[in-house]
A and B are shown apart, each in its own frame.
Chain A
Amino acid sequence: SSELTQDPAVSVALGQTVRVTCQGDSLRTYYASWYQQKPRQVPVLVIYGKDKRPSGIPDRFSGSSSGNTASLTITGAQAEDEGDYYCFSGDTSGNIWLFGGGTKLTVL
């Protein structure tokens, strides 16, 4: 199938842990990657593959996968983590790719 589903919005208290999820049939077969986008900025890769973080991404960001769900967890959320988060993966055919609809994260 060709759909990755994310919750439109999630909030978290400063310093607490939050999980952003992405559901789709293709996630049983492929890992998702995750992108953070702040207003008027270019998306930034934060997690890819089997819980890999690019250089410069804080270790409070982690990724996991179970069944048809990929998750991005922020442990000890900071004010600067506010933004939109998108998952990305191939569809079940592995011939096209797609983004989830995005989750707006608010840090209270």
Chain B
Amino acid sequence: QVQLVQSGAEVKKPGASVKVSCKSSGYTFTKHYMHWVRQAPGQGLEWMGLVNPTGDNSRYAQRFLGRVTMTRDTSTSTDYLELSSLRSEDTAVYYCARDQSSTWTGKMGWWCDPWGQGTLVTVTS
């Protein structure tokens, strides 16, 4: 079955960087984009960006530009999210989620399925 397995929890100091991994199995890795989504404690889901199937192009939400890098290693079917200059507000659960899309009667739609189990990143001094 399709599965996304993320790396374990991290504790980082302000100003540091964190790199979260997401290993895929059960499907053809190079046929799907991957989204990264985060959720701060008690808050909603926030889209951070996505990486294309070959890993040579990414798109990021405006608020993360300059601090985020999304990459992938197609040889190991693993995606990576790196966030730098961490601050306390970056404390959150970070999810990877496989992208799918299709078109019905000329109208396109995207969805995220499945999701990784989430990685808690805690930024504390």
Contacts and interface: CB of A to CB of B under 8 A. Distances in A.
Interface of A: 2, 29-33, 35, 37, 42-45, 48-50, 54, 84, 86, 88-90, 94-102
Given A31-B104, A42-B95, A42-B115, A96 B109 contact: no
Contacts, number: 81
Interface residues of B, number: 29
Given A35-B45, A96-B61, A30 B107 contact: yes
A30 B102 CA distance: 10
B95 A30 contact: no
B50 A97 contact: yes
B113 interface: yes
Contact of B109 (A49, A84, A98, A99): A49
Contacts of B105: 50
A8 B50 CA distance: 27
A45 B104 contact: no
Contact of A33 (B44, B47, B109, B115): B109
Nearest to A101: B44
Contacts of B46: 99
A30 B61 contact: no
A72 B46 CA distance: 20
8 contacts: A30-B108, A32-B109, A37-B45, A43-B112, A43-B115, A45-B112, A48-B100, A97-B50
